[in-house]
Amino acid sequence: MSIGRLDQRVAIVTGGARGIGLAVAKILCEFGATSVIADINYDQGLKSSEKLNEKGYATSAVKLDVSSPESISENIELIYEKYGRIDILVNNAGILDSTSIPELTVEAWDHLLDIDLRGVHLCSQAVLPYMKKSDCGRIINLSSQAGQLGGWKAGVNYSAAKGGVLALTKAYARYAAKFGITVNAVSPGFILTDMTASRSDETTGIPLGRLGTAEDVANSVYFLASDLSSYITGFTIDVNGGYFIH
């Protein structure tokens, strides 16, 4: 197998029904992987999977709620039983909140962190036993520029969750390395998606002069999922057009 190919590998993409997640599922398929679109919106996930199948790609869809330990464990087990392996996990599922600090409730804080941070841990924890059986294990977590700089347009709960994802990535990388599993993160800046469509004209301060696309993010995820990055772990790729350089 060519070093950049993902033939025979099985990938789970949480929140893969649309946007960045769908772009990730598609590019992994393009390089030979089977992509399982795991999304709480099962109907949309199924439609997206069927469209990829029509193009000749190998995909399927499951209804997965990353805030539910039961949903995670049941679906991960079903995916393994169906395909006999799990090689790649892309923790993409998440929600955005821009509530200001004075108005932020405990319930809103907990709800977002259950999905955007705890869900990353629970999904990663669930796949580890199966990845240990594989000859390849890749976990890629989607963080955010807000987790690095503090999101002045995102709520403090979102910034805290995405900052937590970066720390979690490093901790998981140290633990999983002995099993030959790499764990890395991608940290997008201003990316044009359905969730950020209202900000489509905001390119001020971006040296490359444009907003990013879902495909820009997916390209970095593919690199981390492939053997091209086999000696990289605990690392974060910034996809922000030069807005944040460190």
- Cα separation, 123 vs 72, in Å, equals 6
pLDDT attached to residue 246: 84
Query: Cα separations (Å) of 180 from 33, 79, 175, 197, 211?
Result: 19, 21, 10, 39, 35
Task: Enter the tokens of residue 157.
Answer: 């709960």
Closest residue by Cα to residue 185 from 102, 78, 94:
94
List helix spans (H) across the chain. 19-30, 42-54, 69-83, 106-113, 119-131, 146-149, 156-176, 214-225
pLDDT attached to residue 62: 98
pLDDT attached to residue 152: 72
Q: Kindly give, in sequence order, each residue whose CB lies less than 8 Å from that of residue 54, ignoring residues fewer than 6 positions away.
A: none
In the chain the domains, ranked by start, together with CATH numbers, are 10-239 (3.40.50.720)
DSSP-assigned beta bridge partners for residue 185: 141, 236
Work out the number of other CB atoms within 10 angstroms of the CB of residue 132: 13
Q: Please, is 100 exposed, middle or buried when counting C-beta atoms within 10 Å of its C-beta (0-12, 13-18, 19+)?
A: exposed
What string of pLDDT tens digits covers the 246 residues of the chain?
A: 578 999 999 999 999 999 999 999 999 999 999 999 999 999 999 999 999 999 999 999 999 999 999 999 999 999 999 999 999 999 999 999 999 999 999 999 999 999 999 999 999 999 999 999 987 899 999 999 999 999 878 899 999 999 999 999 999 999 999 999 999 999 999 999 776 555 555 787 899 999 999 999 999 999 999 999 999 999 999 999 999 898
pLDDT attached to residue 236: 98
pLDDT attached to residue 81: 98
- Cα separation, 70 vs 7, in Å, equals 30
Q: Is 35 helix (H, G, I), strand (E, B) or coil?
A: strand
DSSP-assigned beta bridge partners for residue 99: none
Catalytic residue numbers read 158
